Amino acid sequence: MALSALLASVLCTTVLPVLLLLVALRLWELYWVRGRDPDCPSPLPPGSMGFPFLGETLQLLLQRRKFLQVKRRRYGFIYRTHLFGSPTVRVTGADNVRHLLLGEHRLVSAQWPASVRTILGPDTLSNMHGSQHKTKKKAIMKAFSRDSLQLYIPEIQEEVRAAVAQWLLKDSCVLVYPEMKRLMFRIAMRILLGFEPEQVRTDEQQLVEAFEEMIKNLFSLPIDVPFSGLYRGLKARNFIHSKIEENIKKKLQECEQGFKRRDALQQLIDSSEDSQRPFSMQAIKESATELLFGGHETTASTATSLIMFLGLNPEVVDKVRQELLEKEEQGLDLQNLSLECLEQLQYAGCVIKETLRINPPVPGGFRVALKTFQLNGYQIPKGWNVIYSICDTHDVAEVFPNKEDFEPQRFMSRPSADSSRFHYIPFGGGSRMCVGKEFAKVLLKIFLVEVVTKCHWTLLNGPPTMKTGPTVYPVDNLPTKFTSCVHNTANVY
């Protein structure tokens, strides 16, 4: 009797729950498989839908890029999963991505996960469609015109030089990633939102911490309860909004006095006032928050990757310095850069392109299927989310031989590699291509010029492990020792 009772206890406490879990998983999988569009003859992509309701969101959040690599190896370039509360198809490869990006408004439409839409808000460029998207994009693009970019260069140089000088003064190592985020945040605050340098210094620490919290919880389960990721993200966002609102009110007062700045936030305010609709403080705050996110998080990621790749490839640093020496001998003024000067630095530009190829800061883009369609023999059901992968598409692109190697020269000798539109998509593509890409290129090139002319550096931990959350970053924050090199570039080489 005792043995029978023990067996019954084991069955109830161990075997039965496992069986129930397996049955639940099977029913969950069948629910989505049978939910395919019967009018489309193609099958659903291979894959797994994970746990009931949770899907595979937790695995993605915990494993990040490893999760995506394992999925691609197991299922190929197109597979299904369940992420952030929605059935999802993940797409890799230039031909597949081309089909999606050229099918904007016809096959798919931009739609980020519910948590992203909730935190950033409905009035952001990424969440707008149709004429509203075109109008807002046009307003923001004015802030990234050629004339505007030229005006930004002195302020960018000023901030970068101040940061580099501080790194050189430190006897101990510099944690590059946190430092880079603070640097790029200060630049974005000044140039994109028009904050005064004193304002930046006063509010920087609190705003950086709030942004860290918001970004950390940007991709989370769409459950707004106390202590949930979405709850913490919204709380941080509200603090950011309060600081931005103070600056907007100041700008409105300046406008009444006839003084206007030429930053992106001012362009949005002007566009809002010209739209013949009531001025919406909330809409401007949401757009400003999106600008700050896009304007500093991605550039901080790429600038960190630049330090990493150059630290691991000193011969590339030598080539950058050699190019700078040659241009300086031809009359290029490195102390007072201009757009024309930056455009002459072709090899430096290739270094940035190669960095973006291997470590694109944003891993992919989100869309939703407007109707059921076929992609490479598979059915993409209407209403399912579709993610196109930037990092995986770069990884599998056949136009790049020796993909694992850091070879900036490939963009000098193979200009077609850069023009292969959907093999190389660090800024996305189609009508949703990053509006600030030219700003990012200018900023990164200025940073590259300043750091190679002022510093030598050593990565103290060697090659770091990289993760994504939501942008690419080194797990160890890239501890690095910076030492000074001769200020006059002619003596450096």
Mention the CATH class of domain 35-492.
Answer: mainly alpha
Of residues 202 and 46, more confidently modeled: 46
- Find the mean pLDDT for residues 48-66: 80
pLDDT at 36 over 80: no
pLDDT bin (cut points 50, 70, 90) of residue 345 is: very high
Half-sphere exposure at residue 159, Cβ-oriented, CA atoms within 13 angstroms? 26
Residue type, 335: Q
CB atoms within 10 A of CB 358: 21
Q: Which residues have CB under 8 Å from 310's CB, separation 6+?
A: 316, 317, 320, 351, 452, 457
Output the pLDDT for position 332: 86
In terms of average pLDDT, the best of 8-12, 30-34, 216-220, 419-423 is 216-220
Strands 385-389 and 364-369: antiparallel
Q: Could you report the per-residue pLDDT of 231-278, keeping only the tens digit for each?
A: 999 999 999 999 889 888 888 888 777 776 777 888 778 777 766 666
Average pLDDT value over all residues in the chain: 86
Model-level pTM? Answer: 0.87
Q: Could you state, in order of their start, the residue ranges of all structural domains in the chain?
A: 35-492
- Give the per-residue pLDDT at 198: 77
Torsion of CA 140, 143, 149, 155, to 10 degrees: -120
